[in-house]
Amino acid sequence: MGDSSWQVLARRVDRLERESRWWKASSEHDAGITGYYCAPRRGAGKKANSPTELRGQRIVLVDKAEQGRAELTMLPDKPAGSDAHG
C-alpha cells in the first residue's frame, strides 16, 4: 500500500472512532433517562420511619415492623502489633 492508502485508512478509522464515541455517549444517555423514568419509586405515598442516611459506627437493618433483623458494627481497635486475624 502507498502513503495515500494509509491516509485513506487513517481517515476512515478516525471517522469510525468518532461515530463509535457518539453512539456510546448517546446510548449511555438514553439508558440513564430510561432507567430514571422506569425505576420503581420507593416509598411513594407512604412516609418511611427509618432514617434515609446511614451514619455512625453501628448500622441496624429493620423490617417493616421496625424490629431489628441484622446489625453491622465496628470491631474494637486492636493494640499495635497484634495479629490481624485474631
The CA–CA distances, whole Å, from 39 to 32, 33, 36 equal 10, 10, 6
User: Which is more confidently placed, 9 or 55?
Assistant: 9
User: Which is more confidently placed, 16 or 2?
Assistant: 16
Instruction: Give 41's pLDDT tier (boundaries 50, 70, 90).
Output: low
Quote the CA–CA distance of 16 and 18 in Å, as a whole number: 5
Quote the CA–CA distance of 25 and 22 in Å, as a whole number: 5
For cell 448517546, name the residue: 26
Mean local confidence (pLDDT), 39-62? 67
> Please, what sign has the CA dihedral across residues 28, 32, 38, 42?
positive
